Amino acid sequence: MAGGGSPKKGSQITWKKGDDVPYAALTNTFEAIESTTKRLQITADLTDFFKRVLQLSPHNLVACIYLCLNRVGPEYEGKELGIGESILIKAIAEATARSAASIKSELAEKGDLGDIAQSSKGKQKSLFKPAALTVPSVFKTLKEISAIMGTSSQQKKIALIKKMLSACQGNEPKFLIRSLEGKLRIGVAERTVLPALANATVAMNPDFAKWSTAKREQELEEAASVIKQVYSELPTYDEIVPALLEKGTKGLAEACKLRPGVPLKPMLAHPTKAISEVLDRFEDMSFTCEYKYDGERAQIHMLEDGTVMIYSRNSENLSAKYPDVIERLHKIPKEGVKSFVLDGECVAWDREKKCILPFQVLSTRKRKDVQTADIQVQVCIFGFDLIYLNGEALTKEPLIKRRELLHTSFKEVEGEFAFAKYMDGNTVEEIQTFLDEAVAGNCEGLMVKTLEKEASYEPSKRSRNWLKVKKDYLSGAGDSLDLVVMGGYLGKGKRTGWYGGYLLACWDDDREEYQSICKIGTGFSEEQLAEHAKFFKAHIIDRPRPYYRYTDTPNLRPDVWFEPVQVWEVKAADLSISPVHQAAIGLVDSSKGISLRFPRFIRVRDDKSPEQATSATQVAEFYRNQKINSAKGGKDEDDD
C-alpha cells in the first residue's frame, strides 16, 4: 500500500460537540489506516473515529461512512465518482497555479495524483486562510459532482473541485483527489465499516465501562451480527444509521427490514464436483434439485403502488434493460398479492419453438435505452424463490414454505414467466436423469437446495445450503473463474489491429489488489476480438495501477495496460503453482502464486463488477479442491 506515515497521536483533530466533523479528522483517520495492513488495527482506528463522531456529531455519521467507503449513496443507486484524470489534472493545475503539462509529467513519474495534489498544495503560499472543509460539505459537493451531466459538465466539475482544493490543508488534497478518482484504497470496505460501527455503538452504552470483558465481548458480537444481518437485507446507511442512533442495535432489526424497492444482496451457491458430494452434504436432510437456468439473475420487486423494478446480481437497476418484462409483470401475481420480492433468472426465449435459448443469445440484448418495439431477444423469467410477500419478509422461512407461497401467489404465463423446474428425488440416478434433462433443455446444470432444515434465505451469503452442479464440473473441467482484464498484447498475423492476447487477474480482497493469473489467447471469435479491441481502446492507461500485482518480465508485461473495468468468465484445464503469476500469493505457497493452464474465454460478465471477480481465496480453494494427480507430475510451475 502506498506511502504516508501514521499521523502522530497528538495530531488527532478535535472539534466542539454539535459542530460538523472537520474533514481533516477523517483524512487523519485515513492516514492512520493507510499506514497499516492489519485488519484489526484498521477496524480499531475506524471504531475510534466513529466513537468520536457518535459523541460529538452523530448527525454526520452517514456522511462519514459513505466517505470511508468512497461512495455518494447506497450502492444500488449506482452513482459513482470515478472522475477522469484529465479533469482532475486541470482542477489541480488551476487550484495550485501550476501548468497541466507539469502535473502530467510528474504523474508519469510518480503515479499517484493524490500525492501530487498534496505536494503542490504544500508548496503554495496563500494570503488568506479559507474556512476549513467539513465532512458534510465535502460529501455534499462530491454528491453534486457525481450528479453533473450534460453540457459544460466538465467546467462545472472542475469549478467545484477547484473550490474544495483551495480550502484543503495538510493531507486533505491527497484523500480528496483519491476519493474523486473513486480509488481511495485504504483497505476500508463494508466488512470493516460494519463491525466498526457495531463496536462504536456498543462502546457508547453508558454501562460499557462497568461490563466484564465477557459481557463486552458478547455485546460486541451480538451487535456486529445484527448490523451485518440488517445491512444484508436493507443495504442503505441512510436508513440504518438513523435507526441505530434512535433505537440502538437491540431495536435495529425491528426498525430496518427488507422491503421492495431496496435490493438485498442475493444468496449465492457453492460449487460441487460430483453428485455424490451433494449426497454427502445433505445426508439426512430433505433437499430439492432445480434447473440451473443460464441467463441473468433477476431480483424482481413490486411496491404496493404497482411500481416494478428489476435488479441484477450486483444490485444494479436493470429496469431500463427489461421494459418488456416490467410491462407484463402485472399479469403474474394472483389476486391478493400487493407487494413482493421474487428471485429468479431472466433467460433468452425462442417464441416460435417455445424453448430456452443459450446465454450467448441473451448477451446480445442491448443494455441501455431499450425500446420495447425494437427488442429482438425475447426473455422469460424463471422464478425460483420468494423473499417478501405483502409486507412480510420470508427470509427466515424454510424453502419449502417459500416455494409453496411462490406457487400459490403467482401464475405462469407461457414464454413470460414460469416456475423453476424442480425434482425432490434423492438418489444418484434420479439426480443424474434430472441433470441430463436440464442440460438438454439449454440449462447449465442443477441447483441443489435444502428444503426444510437450514433452509432459510441467506442474503449475501455463499451458502452450503445451495450447491451448484454444473455439467462442466462433472466432465472434470471444474468451475469457471471470473477474471479482470489488466492488459493486452498486440496482435500479429490475422489478429493485427486487435489484441492477440490479454493478461487476466483475480481480486485479492485483503490486499485490495488485482493479481495476475494467466495470459489468455483462446476462445475468442473474430467478432469478439474486434469488440474487445474497441471496448478497451477507451480504457487504456499509461502505466499499471499501483494495485496491479504482476511479475515484470518481458514475456509477461502487456503492450498496453487497461483500467480494471471488465470481468471475463474463463475456463481452464486446471490450476497450478506458478513461478510468475501472483494470484493467491501467500495462500497456498508463501512466495508463489497460482496460474491457470490452458485458459479459454467464455463470456463477458457484465453483471459483475471488477471487485466481484473471483477472489484470491476462491482461487486458493479451487486449487486445493482439484484432484492433484501425481501421474500428471510436472504440471506445477510450468507456465509463463
Q: Which residues are the active-site residues? A: 292
Residue type, 396: K
Residues of this chain, 210-229, that bind ligand ATP according to CB under 6 A: none
Residues of this chain, 175-214, that bind ligand ATP according to CB under 6 A: none
With contacts defined by CB under 6 A, name the span among 13-21, 287-295, 519-527, 632-640 that binds ligand ATP: 287-295
Q: Return the bridge partners of 576, or none.
A: 595
Q: Does 345 engage in binding with ligand ATP (CB under 6 A)?
A: yes
Residues of this chain, 307-326, that bind ligand ATP according to CB under 6 A: 313
Phi then psi for residue 422, to 5 deg, are: -140, 165
Burial class (CB in 10 A: 0-12, 13-18, 19+), 551: middle
With contacts defined by CB under 6 A, name the span among 222-230, 236-244, 248-256, 289-297 that binds ligand ATP: 289-297
HSE toward the beta carbon, residue 373, CA cutoff 13 A: 0
**Residue among 178 and 468 whose Cβ is closer to ligand ATP:** 468
With contacts defined by CB under 6 A, name the span among 171-179, 233-241, 288-296, 410-418 that binds ligand ATP: 288-296
Residue type, 492: K
Q: Return the bridge partners of 481, or none.
A: 570
CA distances from 626 to 145, 273, 629 (A): 48, 9, 9
Shortest distance, position 345 Cβ to ligand ATP, whole Å: 4
Residues of this chain, 436-495, that bind ligand ATP according to CB under 6 A: 447, 468
Residue nearest to ligand ATP (CB): 297
Shortest distance, position 615 Cβ to ligand ATP, whole Å: 10
Phi then psi for residue 249, to 5 deg, are: -65, -30
Query: Among 269, 389, 431, 577, which residue sits at the site for ligand ATP (rule: CB under 6 A)?
Result: 269
For residues 314 and 331, what is the distance between their CA atoms, to the nearest angstrom?
Answer: 26
**Residue among 34 and 316 whose Cβ is closer to ligand ATP:** 316
Query: Among 1, 160, 245, 268, which residue sits at the site for ligand ATP (rule: CB under 6 A)?
Result: 268
For residue 314 the three cell numbers come to 450486483
**Residue among 34 and 294 whose Cβ is closer to ligand ATP:** 294
Shortest distance, position 310 Cβ to ligand ATP, whole Å: 13
CA distances from 37 to 175, 456, 464 (A): 18, 35, 30
**Residue among 53 and 264 whose Cβ is closer to ligand ATP:** 264
Total residues contacting ligand ATP by CB under 6 A comes to: 12
Residue written as cell 444500488? 76
Shortest distance, position 357 Cβ to ligand ATP, whole Å: 15
Residues of this chain, 367-426, that bind ligand ATP according to CB under 6 A: 384, 420
For residues 574 and 476, what is the distance between their CA atoms, to the nearest angstrom?
Answer: 9
Shortest distance, position 3 Cβ to ligand ATP, whole Å: 34
Shortest distance, position 435 Cβ to ligand ATP, whole Å: 13
For residue 22 the three cell numbers come to 472537520
For residues 608 and 314, what is the distance between their CA atoms, to the nearest angstrom?
Answer: 6
For residues 301 and 621, what is the distance between their CA atoms, to the nearest angstrom?
Answer: 35
For residues 165 and 162, what is the distance between their CA atoms, to the nearest angstrom?
Answer: 5
Do the Cβ atoms of 507 and 615 come closer than 8 Å? yes
Three-state secondary structure readout of 444-489: CEEEEEECCCCCCCCCCCEEEEEEEEEHHHHCCCCCCEEEEEEEEE
**Residue among 183 and 313 whose Cβ is closer to ligand ATP:** 313
For residues 578 and 640, what is the distance between their CA atoms, to the nearest angstrom?
Answer: 8
Q: Does 290 engage in binding with ligand ATP (CB under 6 A)?
A: yes
Shortest distance, position 267 Cβ to ligand ATP, whole Å: 8
Phi then psi for residue 272, to 5 deg, are: -130, 155
**Residue among 589 and 607 whose Cβ is closer to ligand ATP:** 607
Shortest distance, position 466 Cβ to ligand ATP, whole Å: 7
Dihedral sign (CA 309, 310, 313, 315): negative
**Residue among 269 and 486 whose Cβ is closer to ligand ATP:** 269
For residue 529 the three cell numbers come to 476480438
Residues belonging to the chain: 640
With contacts defined by CB under 6 A, name the span among 12-20, 291-299, 360-368, 371-379 that binds ligand ATP: 291-299
Shortest distance, position 462 Cβ to ligand ATP, whole Å: 6
**Residue among 94 and 606 whose Cβ is closer to ligand ATP:** 606
Q: At how many degrees (to 10) do helices 153-167 and 135-147 cross?
A: 170
Residue 575's Cα: distance from chain center in Å? 24
Shortest distance, position 30 Cβ to ligand ATP, whole Å: 30
Give the other-Cβ count within 10 Å of 13's Cβ.
17
**Residue among 67 and 346 whose Cβ is closer to ligand ATP:** 346
Helix then strand then coil, in percent of the chain rounded to 5, is: 40, 20, 40
Q: Does 259 engage in binding with ligand ATP (CB under 6 A)?
A: no
**Residue among 163 and 462 whose Cβ is closer to ligand ATP:** 462
Binding interface with ligand ATP (CB under 6 A) = 268-269, 290, 292-293, 297, 313, 345, 384, 420, 447, 468
